[in-house]
Amino acid sequence: MKGLPAETDFVVIGTGVAGLRAAIELAAAGRVLVLSKKEVRDTHTPAAPDLNDEDEVTIHLQDTLTAGDGLCNTTAVKALIDEAPERIEEVIAWAKHFDHAGAKLVFVQEKTHSHSRVLHAQGESTASEVLRALTAKAHSLKHISFAPFAFTTALLTGAGRITGISLLNETGVPQEIACSAVLLATGGMGRIYRDTTNSEMATADGIGLAFRAGAEIGDMEFVHFHPTSLYMKKVPRFLLSEALRTEGAYLRNFELDRFMAKYHPLGVVAPSDLVARAIVHEMEVSRAKDPFVYLDLTHLSATKVQKHLPRVYAACMRHNVDITEDLIPVRPAAHFCLGGVRTDLNGRTNLAGLFAAGETAATGVHGANRFPSNSLLESLVYGARSGRAMREELKPTSTTTTLPKAAYSNGPVDAGVEELITQIQTVMWSDVGIVRTRMGMQKAIKALEEIAPKIAHPKTRRAHEAANLHLAALLVARSALAREESRGAHYRMDYSDHDDKKFLKHSVVRGDSVRFL
Ligand SMILES: Cc1cc2nc3c(=O)[nH]c(=O)nc-3n(C[C@H](O)[C@H](O)[C@H](O)COP(=O)(O)OP(=O)(O)OC[C@H]3O[C@@H](n4cnc5c(N)ncnc54)[C@H](O)[C@@H]3O)c2cc1C
């Protein structure tokens, strides 16, 4: 679009599944401006949404509650499951390329699912097809306009509610846009960690924006670490999903021994947190300077591997790893943020006019750990629910002024900022990662607090991202330190059991303090 408006009715920050689905819902109620910090299509590259038959509802509910380890909001999970069929049927109607076997859609079973309920497109991934369908639908609606490369820097408030946003536009000029309501659909925060499956985009911007505006942030200690991502120098940590282990892959340590039987009777298909911790342990005992373990598919039929895992096969081949013949070097990596901006069942936060959906939101669906493939589905269902609720916020807006041009800029990228980001990621990986201790987390908090003044007044996009990463890292570390037990994705060596009496509750961070509600 040419130039950004000074005012609109609704601002949606994010062009992933959550943002697009909300925008489609809002289009009937007023003007919707959808922002992305890069290209519209630059969102996460996920895989597959769940689709459950009606007779499977109880099982899906049970699987999700089990994964959530006591902290799921059952009503939120039920809403997800009840609305899923309708939301998915809509997307199927808008899309064209989901897998069929004759007239039926193809469902496959993921490792921790008790039934086959994941919908696939073109062999392995639905995400691009879902995104394509939502983008095309949103483009077809005349009240929706897109603003790519518009980086939101702050939420504006007045009289206790949201009044607009400020941003850096495509050319780095600051601008304010007045609106009735804002949806944060800004995705995850994986980049607070050194090793992550998340793209560069996952810098916790929604959490930073919401926290600074006074919204409640919760459950930040729960970060899901995927046990296996491709580990090669200067290669992004490509996710090697559960599908490889359900296909029959072995895990081998540095000495090429199959080690998982030592840790769990289910071996490689044990719960993924346990697999991740087993890998961490094997890497530690190897005493290697640059440790990793291997996934091994070489004993399986090459034709079957290529047919069942075409995307993984092609991705590894791009880095000269033929998964039918070579061992695949892997490490665990931060994958999904279970906490975030606290919302009710309609995406409402505690700040009037501010909504959140998708990975940046904490709706209560996931609890202490994620049930695989629920996140895309959550983005779809809760994106739509937030869009519907936001319609009620429509109010007359007042035009706000543009900030002076010289205040900020798009670059150049400051090497000092990159160095600070690396420090944050290293501290978080070493001391607030897969296995946590009080001493480690206290050390991390001290190191993060020392970085704070260097990051306090961001002037560029990257510096804003650094400030958001830093804030989210601190919130994770403080929440993890306060939760003196192990639960779901949060594992402490010094408190290795549940403590239901004290901690069957959600953490909420405000300022420096953490409360449990
Ligand atoms: C490798 C990988 C595999 C996955 N596989 C699965 C799977 O199989 N099943 C499943 O359910 N889930 C999966 N997930 C998780 C799932 O992809 C995400 O949870 C989901 O896509 C999040 O969608 P979203 O709409 O919340 O945000 P995203 O798709 O992450 O989009 C975020 C949007 O926010 C915008 N944005 C961010 N900050 C700003 C800012 N400051 N200003 C303006 N715009 C901003 C970005 O530009 C982008 O448009 C996977 C994730 C990864 C990384």
Can you give the three-state secondary structure of 437-469, one letter per residue? CHHHHHHHHHHHHHHHHHHCCCCEHHHHHHHHH
Q: Using most ligand atoms within 8 A of CB, pick from 24, 35, 42, 43 the residue to mutate for ligand 1.
A: 43
pLDDT at position 373, please?
Answer: 76
CA 13/CA 357 separation, integer angstroms: 10
Cα–ligand 1 centroid distance for 360 (angstroms): 9
Cβ neighbours of residue 289 closer than 8 Å, sequence gap 6 or more: none
> If 0-12 CB within 10 Å is exposed, 13-18 middle and 19+ buried, where does residue 318 land?
exposed
**Order of strands across the sheet that contains 250-252:** 223-230, 328-337, 293-296, 250-252
pLDDT at position 102, please?
Answer: 45
pLDDT at position 432, please?
Answer: 98
Q: What is the value of pTM for the model shown?
A: 0.92
Atom from ligand 1 closest to the CA of residue 464: 41
Site of tokens 């200067």: 234
pLDDT at position 329, please?
Answer: 97
Cα–ligand 1 centroid distance for 15 (angstroms): 9
Give strand pairing partners of 251: 295
Q: Any residues with Cβ below 6 Å from ligand 1, and which?
A: 13-19, 35-38, 42-49, 150-152, 185-188, 197-198, 201, 205, 239, 336, 358-359, 373-376, 379
Q: Which two tokens stand for residue 176?
A: 């304010």
Q: Using most ligand atoms within 8 A of CB, pick from 15, 35, 41, 44 the residue to mutate for ligand 1.
A: 44
Cβ neighbours of residue 158 closer than 8 Å, sequence gap 6 or more: none
CA 484/CA 491 separation, integer angstroms: 10
CA 69/CA 86 separation, integer angstroms: 28
pLDDT at position 400, please?
Answer: 55
Nearest CA to ligand 1 atom 51: 46
CA 283/CA 225 separation, integer angstroms: 15
Cα–ligand 1 centroid distance for 199 (angstroms): 9
CA 251/CA 344 separation, integer angstroms: 41
What is residue 13's three-state secondary structure?
A: strand
Q: Which two tokens stand for residue 254?
A: 């540095």
Atom from ligand 1 closest to the CA of residue 376: 11
From the first residue on, what is the mean pLDDT of each consecutive set of 10 residues in the chain (517 residues)?
89 97 97 94 54 50 91 96 91 71 46 52 64 92 96 96 96 95 98 96 98 97 97 91 93 97 95 94 92 97 94 93 97 96 98 98 95 88 98 80 47 77 98 98 98 93 97 98 98 97 95 90
Q: Which two tokens stand for residue 70?
A: 């006591």
pLDDT at position 98, please?
Answer: 55
What is residue 408's three-state secondary structure?
A: coil
CA 371/CA 300 separation, integer angstroms: 27
Cα–ligand 1 centroid distance for 45 (angstroms): 7
Cα–ligand 1 centroid distance for 49 (angstroms): 13
